[in-house]
Structures are given as structure tokens and as C-alpha cells.
Amino acid sequence: MNGKQLIIVLDESTSQKNNNSEYELGMSLCFWVAYVYDPDNDSHPTNKVIPRDRRHETAILMKSINQKPVRSGAIYNDTDTPIKICLDGTARALEACEYLINKHSIKEVILIGDCEPAINLINGQTKRKAIAITSLCNKIDGIIENYKKKNVSVSANYVAEDNFSLFKDIDGIAKNFRNVIDKTFNQ
């Protein structure tokens, strides 16, 4: 795909409480960060670090690149599953970033996350059973369809958090943010 990319990196942070050997879901948060990236612009500072043949991969997550985000956000719920909060965060990120399509002449949106079951649901690789999950997936499908009507492709990719130091930083922000909410409002 030629043209600028909008790369949205998502990370969910969910606390689970162990009560008598049974896990209860606790606070959940999905934090996302969006980057505009032009893999075809050889003068872009990021492209001086990434070889041309790797520019369409997730190499933007390398710490040495120091890419500046154009938008970020978070969604919090007092009790949710990692899959559901990640899907909710994905829908909200796509909605919040839609205006960037025209502003930056985006041709491709790449969602990157470490919640593999959510990424598989977005890609249609897993059957959608639960009503709440199906509803969120349908919402995401509708948003993606709007992007496609603007000639913008959308893909969702799973990455292991440990492979990229920038993703570890985003994960740290998500966990810290969730903990600040917990300490501030659960006194």
C-alpha cells in the first residue's frame, strides 16, 4: 500500500482479584496512541532508522525511532474482560481518529495490539459468540466500512509486548493510569 499510514497502538490493562482460588475481574483500561507515518518519505526521521523493506511492518514501535503521536485516549471500566475492553478501546480509537484520514491523507490504518483474542475477533478469525462482544465487533466493522468508503484499508495485527520497547512504555502508561484511577477514586 502506498501512502501515509495511521498506526494505532492499543494496550489493555486489567486487574484480576484472586478470591478463594477464583478470579474476579477488576478494573480495566484500554490506552491507545495514534501515529501518522509516511513509509515512502525517505527524508522522514523515522525512515532514516528503518530500512525501506521494513517500513510497512511494526518496526515503528522501536524505541529508537521516537515517533511523536498525533492523538491518544483511554477507556476505563470498573470491571471488564481484557478482550471486551480492548474491543471497546479499538472502537473508540477508530472513531476518535477518523478526522485524521482527511487531515493527513491517510491511505492505510494499522491497528496494533497485544490482546490476541481481540485482534482475532476484529480480523474475523474467531467466532463471535457473546452478545457484548458481537455488538462491539459489529460497531468496529461499521467504522471500518466507513474507512473503506474513503478508500482507506484497515488491518489489525497482534504483536507480543516484549518485542518492542515502545510497546512496553505504552503498557506501562496503561497500568499506571489504571492504578491512578484506582487510588484516586477507591479511597
Query: pLDDT of 11-42, one tens digit each?
Result: 988 876 656 655 567 788 899 999 888 888 88
Q: Which phi-psi region, left, alpha or beta, contains residue 21 (left: φ > 0; alpha: ψ -120 to 50)?
A: left
Assigned C-alpha cell, 147: 474507512
* Mean pLDDT, residues 71-80 taken together: 88
Q: Residue 116: CB partners within 8 Å, gap ≥ 6?
A: 158
Yes or no: is domain 4-185 CATH 3.30.70.790? no
- Report residue 58's pLDDT band, with 50, 70 and 90 as the boundaries: low
Residue 173 confidence (pLDDT) above 90: no
Assigned C-alpha cell, 11: 494496550
Q: Which of 55, 95, 48 is nearest to 71 (CA)?
A: 95
What is the predicted pLDDT for the residue at 21? 54
Query: Which of 12-16, 57-61, 92-96 has the lowest average pLDDT?
Result: 57-61
What is the predicted pLDDT for the residue at 27? 81
Query: Which of 4-8, 55-59, 128-132 has the lowest average pLDDT?
Result: 55-59
- Report residue 144's pLDDT band, with 50, 70 and 90 as the boundaries: very high
Residue 89 confidence (pLDDT) above 90: yes
Alpha-carbon distance of 60 to 45, in angstroms, equals 11
What is the predicted pLDDT for the residue at 140? 96
Alpha-carbon distance of 96 to 109, in angstroms, equals 13
Which helix (H) or strand (E) covers residue 180, if one does? helix 165-185
Residue 95 confidence (pLDDT) above 90: yes
Average pLDDT value over all residues in the chain: 84
What is the predicted pLDDT for the residue at 93? 97
Burial (Cβ within 10 Å: 0-12, 13-18, ≥19) of residue 157:
middle
What is the predicted pLDDT for the residue at 23? 57
What is the predicted pLDDT for the residue at 66? 63
pLDDT digits (tens, 9 = 90+) for 104-115: 999 999 999 989
What is the residue extent of each domain of the chain? 4-185
- Report residue 126's pLDDT band, with 50, 70 and 90 as the boundaries: confident
